[in-house]
Structure 1
Amino acid sequence: MSLPVFVHPALAGAAVGDAVEVLGDEARHAVVVKRIRVGERVTLTDGSGTAATCTVTATAKSSLSATVDAVASTEPEMPRIVVVQAIPKGDRGELAVEMLTEVGVDVIVPWAASRSVSVWRGDKQAKALAKWRSTAREAAKQSRRSWFPEVTDVVGTAEVVDLLRNASVPVVLHEAASGPLADLPLPGRGEIVIVVGPEGGISDEELAAFATVGAEPVRMGTSVLRTSTAGVAATAALLARTRWK
């Protein structure tokens, strides 16, 4: 059975035999919720490529001490996957973030598209971003990722254009596109940027802006997917041709 995973932000440089301590909310989750006890083994990760298998030596309500048994460091997988996710309504944003994290996306960019039903402003923006980031962190732990995805600040269309301009492969999903996603040539490295529109679709003005940097829309099939699932499906299709071989 897989070991439970918890976050320790300072694992860089850890070696076998070192003592480590998890504090605060993460420790409370391990000890109170997961009921981790002395003698059990856990996996600790910093979310930046380092994971350590550890044996628990002591627990308290807000702390967990352990000894490092093994350490593994990994490089980020290539190509790098960036998903620009138009902000959906309700809790579909967190659903999209959860699935994108599980499938292996490296960066998630909330996009305030012109037809986004939900609008993030002020306190609402801060709370929504916090939810997206918390969701990504928990999904990364659940899927045992050593590299956690970044959830950026909210961007507008001009910033999306810049991302597409600098991408090795720019991907704009649109149900009315003539070319299929499967026909895109893919690199072994570099960065793939996937743009997912809102419930109301990507506007003609946005499509025109994307086209100025060579990002023409592509389709995935005859079905029209929800904004919360389209990015996951596209990412999986592209990873099957790159990382998942």
Structure 2
Amino acid sequence: MRRFFVPPSSLDNEIVPLPDDIAHHIRTVLRLAPGDEIILLDGQGRRCRCRLETLDKRSASARILESCQEEETAFPIQLLQALPKGDKMELVLQKGTELGITAFSPVTTSRSLPPLAGEREEKRLARWERIIREAARQSRRPVLPRLDAPIPLVEALIACDAELRLMLWEEESLAMAGVLSGVAPRSAAILVGPEGGFSQQEAEAARAAGFNPVQIGPRILRCETAGFAVASVLQYLFGDLGSAGSTRNDP
């Protein structure tokens, strides 16, 4: 059954008006018709089985048939990602959502791209949110990951409250296997630098904020893939990667 994220407030009533983009997709791409059933989610865990009521060029709506609360099974991971060049951040958001990352915190560093200003930044954040929403829909996540606006690295370090804090850094680093031994943490944060890496001063600031400098292995990964590798390891050790899948009959 097809799944779509809608604003949480729209699920407060029995009849749900569908946003234009969802209605267009249902009507012209999926070619569904009134009477067909879909799943609507609020991005906070609420899941509603609905039946399409109206579907035309002017409006579309669905009736809630049943509602339940789904729990997020992914291990809580915050990814603090220095802004990379080009559209690499879009790949980070898409694949990170699929791998169960629960919060994305873009950061600016001395060697990263600067944030955009004003309306350009708002448009970029809106596009990033759409990418996350579509990736969550495709991967059947019940809860949308949090997306923060880009902030300087120092501010992001101060705000981070994850129990396990890992910084991917090539210099003076420990093997990640040694850092992960022991009791399973309640949450984790992964700090990934830009293409040029962290400066010595930035690395020391991260250390002072409780981040352990680690390396994954003998190979150097690109900035847009390094976070995926660590997230996969953490989800396998502490989360739901490798566990049995859902038993629901959603196709």
Is this a same-fold pair by TM over 0.5?
Answer: yes
TM-score per shorter chain, which class? 0.7 to 0.9
- Answer whether contact 1:108 1:151 (CA < 8 A) is retained: yes
Q: Which amino acid aligns with 1:120?
A: P
Question: Does residue 235 of structure 2 align to residue 239 of structure 1?
Answer: yes
- The answer for unaligned runs of 5 or more in structure 2 is 244-251
Structure 1 residue aligned with 2:155 = 159
- Answer whether contact 1:25 1:62 (CA < 8 A) is retained: no
**Residue correspondence of structure 1 range 218-229 to structure 2 within 5 A:** 218-229=214-225
Structure 1 residue aligned with 2:4 = 6
Deviations 1:146-166 (A, max 9, x none): 1001110111121122144x2
* Corresponding residue pairs, total: 239
**Residue correspondence of structure 1 range 151-230 to structure 2 within 5 A:** 151-164=147-160, 166-183=161-178, 184-185=180-181, 190-230=186-226
Deviations 1:94-131 (A, max 9, x none): 01110001111111011112111x32231443332222
CA distance in structure 2 between the partners assigned to 1:65 and 1:114 by the alignment: 49
Q: TM-score, normalised by structure 1?
A: 0.88
Give the secondary structure class of the aligned counterpart of 2:238.
Answer: coil
Shift of 1:226: 1.1
**Residue correspondence of structure 1 range 1-245 to structure 2 within 5 A:** 3-10=1-8, 18-77=14-73, 79-116=75-112, 118-122=113-117, 123-164=119-160, 166-183=161-178, 184-185=180-181, 190-244=186-240
Give the secondary structure class of the aligned counterpart of 1:241.
Answer: helix
Aligned residues with identical type, % of pairs: 32
- The answer for unaligned runs of 5 or more in structure 1 is none
Shift of 1:8: 2.3
Give the secondary structure class of the aligned counterpart of 1:47.
Answer: coil
CA distance in structure 2 between the partners assigned to 1:47 and 1:186 by the alignment: 33
Q: TM-score, normalised by structure 2?
A: 0.86
Shift of 1:60: 1.6
CA distance in structure 2 between the partners assigned to 1:88 and 1:133 by the alignment: 17
